[in-house]
A = this chain, B = another copy of it.
Amino acid sequence: AGVDKGVDFANYFCTYAFLYHQKEMLCDRVRMDAYYNAVFQNKHHFNGKTVLDVGTGSGILAIWAGQAGARKVYAVEATKMSEHARALVKANNLQGVVEVIEGSIEDITLPEKVDVIISEWMGYFLLRESMFDSVICARDRWLKPTGSMYPSHARMWLAPIRSGLGDQKMNDYEGSMDDWFYFLDETKTYYGVDMSALTKPFSEEQKKYYLQTSLWNNLHPNQLIGSAAMIKEIDCSTATVNDILDVRASMSSLITTEETRLCGFAGWFDVHFRGSKENPAQHEIELTTAPSEDYSTHWGQQVFLLHPSIHVSEGDNLAINFSMTRSKENHRLMEVELSCEIKQPSGRLLPPFRKKFYIE
């Protein structure tokens, strides 16, 4: 949809061409366990079947599919990582089964339709990177009508949190503005130019950077101060690009912590491997990126901060309106609007607020 391929490569694909980056994903044990179990505890979905791995990267998922007995695996990768994937396939004696194809999934053609599409397409807060578009494209072109999607379902979650990050970021912002005013003085004194006309745009730029850009964080579960609300559920077998272009939801969350501060919200996702209706999984597997005491993932959670924080108490009810759309400049980045009204158990309403955030 009007995306310049060269620009998209410079902005997005380039990082995936580094083994260092692939290794970060391959070292995420939560991620690896989920896909590994999804494949090997559901061998009936792979044994003797044809499989397409969308964005094979190092080739790991394609190799597992091969080891689980697939007749043929097409492993498609847009970057030069394809060459390393090919070497890995060979070193693991699957060159007869796994065929690595370098190219965008949107551009390549396969000689046949497949029984299973497997892909690890999830970005921060599920949809950053917009790679699910490519999986939808692959599904509509190459999946047999009775085929299964791995994963088959995905959900987005939002919950109120407490966190020290907000004060920290506010400090950073204020420090940056102090520097700015010092800079204005110096520039006027030594170089005879009055730069104060730029104070407003500079402050807006810095606010956006420090306060409105969502943060990557692995939260502790005790930082969650209320119930998690589901923003969206996606059936990977039927979802269209239209369904995810504009994610909107009205939800409510109940504060479950006695007396605390609402410092912002955390967003995360989970995906499930359930196979398809005609051909359900023998063992359903879940991959969750929710805050956990024991596990963390490279996705962490996305944190949206409030300034200042708001005093809330157990039983307060948050009525939240959430919307997420794609950035106009880069369709792989997101803009979020959050508005919230807090109703105390007495029925009293706190003043509502509305904030805009950027997922960069």
Contact = CB atoms under 8 A, between A and B. Distances in A.
A247 B125 CA distance: 47
Interface string A172-188: 00000000100100110
Contact of A183 (B23, B84, B190): B23
A26 B91 contact: no
A205 interface: yes
B87 A193 contact: no
B187 A88 contact: no
B58 A194 contact: no
A195 interface: yes
Interface string A122-135: 00000000000000
Contacts of A197: 87-88, 90-91
Contacts of A168: none
Contacts of A60: 191, 193
A6 interface: yes
A349 interface: no
Contact of A20 (B23, B26, B29, B206): B206
B19 A198 contact: yes
Interface string A1-42: 000101101110000001110010011010010001000000
A89 to B, nearest CB: 9
A161 to B, nearest CB: 28
A201 B27 contact: no
Contacts of A32: 190-191
Contacts of A187: 26
Most B CB contacts (10 A, CB to CB) among A19, A36, A180, A196 go to A19
A202 interface: yes
A164 interface: no
Contact of A194 (B23, B27, B84, B91): B91
Copies in the complex: 2
Contacts of A4: 4, 6-7
A64 interface: yes
A63 interface: yes
A193 B64 contact: yes
A347 interface: no
A19 B202 contact: yes
A192 B67 CA distance: 9
A292 interface: no
Contact of A88 (B6, B11, B193): B193
Interface string A79-94: 0000010011011100
28 contacts: A4-B6, A4-B7, A6-B6, A6-B7, A7-B7, A10-B10, A19-B198, A19-B205, A20-B209, A23-B180, A26-B183, A26-B187, A27-B183, A27-B186, A32-B190, A36-B190, A36-B191, A58-B195, A60-B193, A64-B193, A84-B198, A84-B201, A87-B197, A87-B198, A87-B201, A88-B197, A88-B198, A90-B197
Interface of A: 4, 6-7, 9-11, 18-20, 23, 26-27, 29, 32, 36, 58, 60, 63-64, 67, 84, 87-88, 90-92, 180, 183, 186-187, 190-198, 201-202, 205-206, 209
Given A6-B6, A19-B201, A91-B197, 18 more contacts: A4-B4, A18-B205, A19-B198, A19-B202, A19-B205, A20-B202, A20-B209, A23-B180, A23-B183, A27-B183, A27-B186, A32-B190, A58-B198, A60-B191, A60-B193, A87-B197, A87-B198, A87-B201
